[in-house]
Amino acid sequence: MKGADAEARAAAHLEALGRVVLARNYRIPGGEIDLVSRDADGTLIFTEVRQRRSARYGDAAESVTPRKLALMHRAALGYLTRELGRDDLPCRLEVLTIQGPAATGELTLLDVEG
C-alpha cells in the first residue's frame, strides 16, 4: 500500500513523543485522516502524513493544498461527532512530513492554523 511505510514511521514517531495513536486511516465520505492521536494533556491531534522521496516536484509540505486541509477538517469533525459524540473537545490539525525515504528521511511536524 502506498504510503504505509511513511504512516507506520509517523505513528512510531508520535508514540515516541508520548502520544497514544487512536486511529489510522480514519475515513468518512469526502475526507480522511492518516493518524488520530491524543497527547498527554488530552488534546486530540489529527495528522496528515506526507512523504516525498525527492524535492523534484517540491517538498512534502508543499503537497498539502487548501482543499486537502478542508477535507482534513471535515474528517476531523466527523471523527469527533461520530466516534466521540461531541465536537467541542480540544484538538488540532497538523502535517507530518518526511523528506526522503520513508525509513530514514527527515521528519518535520507542522501545526495547521485555522
CATH value at residue 63:
3.40.1350.10
pLDDT computed for residue 2 by the predictor: 59
pTM for the model:
0.91
Give the domain extent around 105.
4-112
Closest CA to 112 of 61, 43, 74: 61
Which neighbouring-strand residues pair with 44?
38, 91
pLDDT computed for residue 1 by the predictor: 47
Query: Residue 40 in contact with residue 53, Cβ under 8 Å?
Result: no
pLDDT tier, 31 (very low <50, low <70, confident <90, very high otherwise):
confident
Mean pLDDT confidence for 9-32: 95
Percentage of the chain beyond pLDDT 90 is 70
When divided into structural domains, the chain yields a total of 1
20-29, 36-45, 68-77, 105-114: lowest mean pLDDT where? 105-114
Residue 97: other Cβ atoms inside 10 A = 23
